[in-house]
Amino acid sequence: MISSRVKLIAPSPIRKLVPYANEAKKKGIKIYHLNIGQPDIRTPAPFWDGIKYYKEEVLGYGPSDGFFFFREAVAEYYNSFGANVEPYNVFVTTGGSEAILFIYLILGDIGDEFLIPEPSYANYITLGAMAQIKLIPIPTSVENGFHLPKAEKIEPLITPKTRGMIICTPNNPTGTVYTKEEMELIAGIAKKHKLFVISDEVYREFLFDSRHHISIFNIPEMEEYAIVIDSISKRFSACGARIGFAVTKNRQVLEALMLCGMSRLCPPTIEQIGALQAFKKMDEFIPQMIKEYKRRRDVVYEEINKIPGSFACLPEGAFYVTCRLPVPDVEEFAKWMLTEFNFEGKTTMIAPAEGFYLTPGKGKDEVRIAYVIKEEELRDAMQILKKGIEKFR
Average pLDDT, the chain: 96
Query: Is the predicted pLDDT of residue 138 greater than 80, yes or no?
Result: yes
Output the domain CATH number for residue 379.
3.90.1150.10
Among candidate residues 256, 282, 308, the one where a domain is terminated: 282
Q: pTM of this prediction?
A: 0.96
pLDDT at 306: 95
Whether 221 and 323 map to the same domain: the answer is no
Rounded distance between C-alpha atoms, residue 170 and residue 177, angstroms: 4
Whether 246 and 292 map to the same domain: the answer is no
pLDDT digits (tens, 9 = 90+) for 226-247: 999 999 999 999 999 999 999 9
Output the domain CATH number for residue 64.
3.40.640.10
pLDDT at 1: 83
**What percent of the chain clears pLDDT 70, i.e. is strictly above it?**
100
The beta strand positions in the chain, using DSSP E, are: 30-33, 90-94, 113-118, 134-139, 162-168, 196-200, 226-231, 243-248, 320-324, 346-349, 351-352, 366-370
pLDDT at 11: 75
Whether 188 and 140 map to the same domain: the answer is yes
pLDDT at 9: 80
Query: Is the predicted pLDDT of residue 12 greater than 90, yes or no?
Result: no
Whether 81 and 188 map to the same domain: the answer is yes
Whether 217 and 79 map to the same domain: the answer is yes
Whether 124 and 259 map to the same domain: the answer is yes
Could you tell me the residue range of the domain that residue 318 belongs to? 4-42+285-392
Whether 231 and 220 map to the same domain: the answer is yes
Whether 19 and 149 map to the same domain: the answer is no
Whether 124 and 178 map to the same domain: the answer is yes
Among candidate residues 249, 282, 315, the one where a domain is terminated: 282
**Number of domains composing the chain:** 2
- The terminus-to-terminus CA distance of the chain in angstroms comes to 43
Among candidate residues 254, 282, 310, the one where a domain is terminated: 282
pLDDT at 15: 76
pLDDT digits (tens, 9 = 90+) for 155-200: 999 999 999 999 999 999 999 999 999 999 999 999 999 999 999 9
pLDDT digits (tens, 9 = 90+) for 106-124: 999 999 999 999 999 999 9
CA distances from 230 to 93, 96, 181, 245, 246 (A): 9, 6, 22, 5, 6
Query: Is the predicted pLDDT of residue 392 greater than 90, yes or no?
Result: yes
Which are the contacts of 247, defined by CB distance < 8 A and separation ≥ 6?
Answer: 74, 78, 83, 85, 89, 90, 91, 217, 227, 228, 230
Whether 243 and 113 map to the same domain: the answer is yes
Whether 238 and 314 map to the same domain: the answer is no
Whether 251 and 365 map to the same domain: the answer is no
Query: Is the predicted pLDDT of residue 132 greater than 90, yes or no?
Result: yes
